[in-house]
Chains A and B, each alone.
Chain A
Amino acid sequence: MATPDRIPRWDEQLQRRLARGEETALGELYDRLSPMVHGLAGRILADQVAADQLTREIFAQVWEHPEDFDPAQGSLRSWLGALTHRRAVERLRARRDAERAPERGTGATEEEIRAVATAARVQYVVDSLPQPLRETIAVTYYDGRTYQETARLLGISEQAAKQRMRLGLELLATELADERARQEPHPSRRDGDGHGDGDGHDDGNTADDGHRTGRGDCDCDCDEGERT
């Protein structure tokens, strides 16, 4: 979880401006967070119209009830991420229920929903990774570079490039294990957990969620590596 003293002032100022009815605050909120909201909705719902519609509803909710956001609980980004995720999964489940013939079981469908939700969640974590880690992974993996080429491109040492890749994947692996563990008992009970600092101010922050999983000694190694 993000600690309250690290919440950017932007969140609270924006909340006040939304409460005052400033249209520009709504526009700025949209510009800052719509890629996340729409991306998450799109990944879960896999349907352009449904994703657009959910995006509309999420922003309308904040615009109509800016007071629902509690800055003490985390960043606006993580709050909106959790809200979007919950609503999208609810909608997906409703859609599957409507499509399902009444006599058929729910097992496979529930599993599908879980897989989609997990994928979306992980992607959300990718999007929320601290910028240096995200950038390093993106230019390496999506553009098919070696770590040496990435290091040259970004003007960092090869050691730093390797470390960023390892730490970034470690954060993803943690989220993935976390997500799977959460889904086992209660596949739908996941919204209360704004998972860390979506604004990515702190490389180590998301890893704080990792206590539930066997992530072993990696934190130490990574921290050491980052310094060498």
Chain B
Amino acid sequence: MNEERHDALRSLLGAWSLGACPPRESAELERHLRGCAECTEEAARLRDAAGWLSLDEPLDQPGSLRQQVLDWCLARRPAELPVPAWGMPYTAETAKLDALLRDLGPEEWQEVAELPWHGGAELLRPAEVLGRLTAVDGFLALALGLPDPVPAAAPSAPARARVVERRVPPQEAAVPAPRVPRVPPQGGPSTAVTARTARLLADQAGLPPQSVRARWRQQTHDLVRGAALAPQGSTPVDLGFAVLPLRDAFVDRALECFVHGEDVARAVAYPYDPPAPQHLRQMVELVVRLLPRALAGLRAARPQPAGAPGTAGPAGATAVREPRRLRLVVDGPAAGEWLVPLGGEQAGPPGGEPVASMVLDGLELCQLAAAHRDPDRLPVGEHGDRAAVREVLHALPLLSRPRAL
């Protein structure tokens, strides 16, 4: 045996100890071991070490533990600079997504997640999902005076065409059927959002997934810290589709993070917990507050109320200025009850009997608002004006952001 061969075989010892050599190489190495004390000694040591690798997996870290531990700590020493309540869902959801990403192997980073929205579905790898979350979270960064993660646009980019004040969700104006329009909107503020996302995705395209994760994570930490150090919840944030106060924008981003975290988890076949009840409750409240905008958007997409099936359409009701409202009952952990004005944003005087009631689960409501449920198949308890219930169900997915590239 020459020295070169000895070195070559010896370099195999790690792989051999892990059972990772093809049979022929294993056999040759094992013949060599019988005659080489030096290699035999190392082989025994490495084999022994490899034996410890087959330990049981550690206990799962339950998702609820984070909040328990932080509550426990804060009860013993209250924070001088606490995270505002409206920042908590975002803090929890970003931590949960990060915990999922921590466990992804190289192959799982190549899986493709399906991200439905009301105009279709996008297919993105986990790192691209993160890029998109980062780009839209960037609107909060700007509002907080933090750096924009998105590189500046080329001078001719359509991002400059953004119009912001009091936008309804953009819709095609001329869709004849009384259905949710299933086409991506053209132009309008969403173009600015998608252009930003496209620029960020192009910018991060060459980065390894863990770097993308690190960038996203750093920004989430910086955002929460920015909110905690100067908690001004009413600062307006232009999210492209709407201008929301910072406190709502954080809840909106928490919901988005949860929804897309679940998309990624589905793609890699990992379990993913729903938001904690108190956080889900904040998300439900936001969705209910935004619902009138979605209803207005749905109505804007319909040329004539005459096309609506069944009873006199809600637009007809608006015309005669009747205060039509719907009782929305949410059950499950985020239970609550709301009266939703159906007449667009100009609600009638309070006090009239709701024209309909509907009951659905809070998590389902949020997922419907993210266009992750089919409004025609969702289990909903309903009572009263069926058309009004259908209208609300079909309006909710319009809150999902158009983001096709």
Write the residues of chain A forming the contact surface with B, with a CB cutoff of 8 angstroms: 20-24, 26-28, 30-31, 34-35, 38-39, 42-43, 46, 48, 51-52, 55-56, 59-60, 63-64, 119, 122-123, 126, 135, 137-142, 144-148, 150, 153-154, 159, 161-170, 172-173, 176-177, 216, 218, 221, 225
Contact A166 B91 (CB under 8 A): no
Q: Choose from A21, A126, A172 the contact partner of B80 (Cβ within 8 Å).
A: A21
Q: Choose from A23, A148, A154, A163 the contact partner of B106 (Cβ within 8 Å).
A: A154
What's the minimum C-beta distance from B369 to chain A, rounded to whole angstroms?
Answer: 27
Please measure, in the bound complex, the distance between the C-alpha atom of A34 and the C-alpha atom of B72, giving whole angstroms. Answer: 14
The residue among A52, A60, A145, A166 with the most chain B CB atoms within 10 A of its own CB is A166
Please measure, in the bound complex, the distance between the C-alpha atom of A165 and the C-alpha atom of B19, giving whole angstroms. Answer: 11
Q: Which residues of A contact B81 (CB under 8 A)?
A: 20-24
Contact A21 B79 (CB under 8 A): yes
Contact B58 A42 (CB under 8 A): yes
Please measure, in the bound complex, the distance between the C-alpha atom of A169 and the C-alpha atom of B44, giving whole angstroms. Answer: 11
Contact B22 A20 (CB under 8 A): no
Contact A146 B224 (CB under 8 A): no
Q: Which residues of A contact B133 (CB under 8 A)?
A: none
Q: Which residues of A contact B155 (CB under 8 A)?
A: none
Query: Contact flags (1/0) for B10-22 with A, using CB distance below 8 Å?
Result: 1111110111111
Please measure, in the bound complex, the distance between the C-alpha atom of A21 and the C-alpha atom of B74, giving whole angstroms. Answer: 10
Please measure, in the bound complex, the distance between the C-alpha atom of A155 and the C-alpha atom of B371, giving whole angstroms. Answer: 38
Q: Which residues of A contact B12 (CB under 8 A)?
A: 147, 162
The residue among B10, B17, B58, B95 with the most chain A CB atoms within 10 A of its own CB is B58
Q: Choose from B10, B62, B65 the contact partner of A221 (Cβ within 8 Å).
A: B10
Please measure, in the bound complex, the distance between the C-alpha atom of A162 and the C-alpha atom of B70, giving whole angstroms. Answer: 43
Q: Which residues of B contact A51 (CB under 8 A)?
A: 59
Answer whether A30 and B21 are a contact pair too, CB < 8 Å, given A22-B79, A173-B45.
Answer: no
Contact A27 B95 (CB under 8 A): yes
What's the minimum C-beta distance from A75 to chain B, rounded to whole angstroms?
Answer: 18
Query: Considering the complex, which residues of chain B in the window 62-82 have a beta carbon less than 8 Å from any beta carbon of chain A?
Result: 62, 65-66, 68-70, 72-74, 76-82
B48 in the interface, Cβ–Cβ < 8 Å?
Answer: yes
For the complex of A and B, the 7 pairs showing the least CB-CB separation, nearest first, are A166-B14, A21-B80, A165-B14, A42-B59, A23-B79, A172-B49, A147-B15
Contact A138 B224 (CB under 8 A): no
Q: Which residues of A contact B19 (CB under 8 A)?
A: 141, 144
Q: Which residues of A contact B66 (CB under 8 A)?
A: 30-31, 34
The residue among B20, B41, B61, B77 with the most chain A CB atoms within 10 A of its own CB is B20
The residue among B42, B52, B224 with the most chain A CB atoms within 10 A of its own CB is B52
Contact A147 B20 (CB under 8 A): yes
Q: Which residues of A contact B42 (CB under 8 A)?
A: 216, 218
What's the minimum C-beta distance from B50 to chain A, rounded to whole angstroms?
Answer: 6
Q: Which residues of B contact A59 (CB under 8 A)?
A: 69-70, 72-73
Q: Choose from A28, A63, A145, A162 the contact partner of B73 (Cβ within 8 Å).
A: A63
Q: Which residues of A contact B53 (CB under 8 A)?
A: 126, 137, 141-142, 172
What's the minimum C-beta distance from B56 to chain A, rounded to whole angstroms?
Answer: 8
Q: Which residues of B contact A145 (CB under 8 A)?
A: 20
Closest to B225 in A: A24
Contact B221 A24 (CB under 8 A): yes
Answer whether A146 and B225 are a contact pair too, CB < 8 Å, given A64-B77, A162-B12, A218-B42.
Answer: no
Q: Which residues of A contact B225 (CB under 8 A)?
A: 22, 24
Answer whether A170 and B46 are a contact pair too, CB < 8 Å, given A23-B228, A161-B15.
Answer: yes
What's the minimum C-beta distance from A27 to chain B, rounded to whole angstroms?
Answer: 6
- Main SS at interface, chain A: helix
Q: Which residues of B contact A35 (CB under 8 A)?
A: 61, 99, 102
What's the minimum C-beta distance from A59 to chain B, rounded to whole angstroms?
Answer: 5
B3 in the interface, Cβ–Cβ < 8 Å?
Answer: no
Closest to A122 in B: B52
Q: Choose from A153, A167, A216 the contact partner of B14 (Cβ within 8 Å).
A: A167
Please measure, in the bound complex, the distance between the C-alpha atom of A129 and the C-alpha atom of B73, giving whole angstroms. Answer: 30
Please measure, in the bound complex, the distance between the C-alpha atom of A119 and the C-alpha atom of B102, giving whole angstroms. Answer: 23
Contact A169 B69 (CB under 8 A): no
Please measure, in the bound complex, the distance between the C-alpha atom of A154 and the C-alpha atom of B20, giving whole angstroms. Answer: 15
What's the minimum C-beta distance from B222 to chain A, rounded to whole angstroms?
Answer: 9
Q: A35-B102, A63-B77 are in contact. List 10 more A-B contacts (CB 8 A).
A: A23-B81, A27-B224, A64-B77, A162-B12, A162-B14, A169-B14, A169-B17, A170-B49, A172-B50, A172-B53
Contact A52 B106 (CB under 8 A): no
Q: Which residues of B contact A23 (CB under 8 A)?
A: 70, 74, 79, 81-83, 228
Q: Which residues of A contact B61 (CB under 8 A)?
A: 34-35, 38-39
Closest to B98 in A: A31
Contact A169 B95 (CB under 8 A): no
Closest to A47 in B: B59
Contact B49 A60 (CB under 8 A): no
Answer whether A43 and B58 are a contact pair too, CB < 8 Å, given A23-B74, A163-B11, A165-B15.
Answer: yes
Answer whether A148 and B22 are a contact pair too, CB < 8 Å, given A139-B106, A173-B49.
Answer: yes
Please measure, in the bound complex, the distance between the C-alpha atom of A141 and the C-alpha atom of B55, giving whole angstroms. Answer: 12
Please measure, in the bound complex, the distance between the C-alpha atom of A56 and the C-alpha atom of B55, giving whole angstroms. Answer: 25
B105 in the interface, Cβ–Cβ < 8 Å?
Answer: yes
B28 in the interface, Cβ–Cβ < 8 Å?
Answer: no
B165 in the interface, Cβ–Cβ < 8 Å?
Answer: no
Q: Which residues of B contact A22 (CB under 8 A)?
A: 79-81, 225, 228-229
B107 in the interface, Cβ–Cβ < 8 Å?
Answer: yes
Answer whether A26 and B59 are a contact pair too, CB < 8 Å, given A159-B11, A162-B12.
Answer: no
Answer whether A166 and B13 are a contact pair too, CB < 8 Å, given A123-B58, A138-B105, A146-B22.
Answer: yes
Q: Which residues of A contact B98 (CB under 8 A)?
A: 31
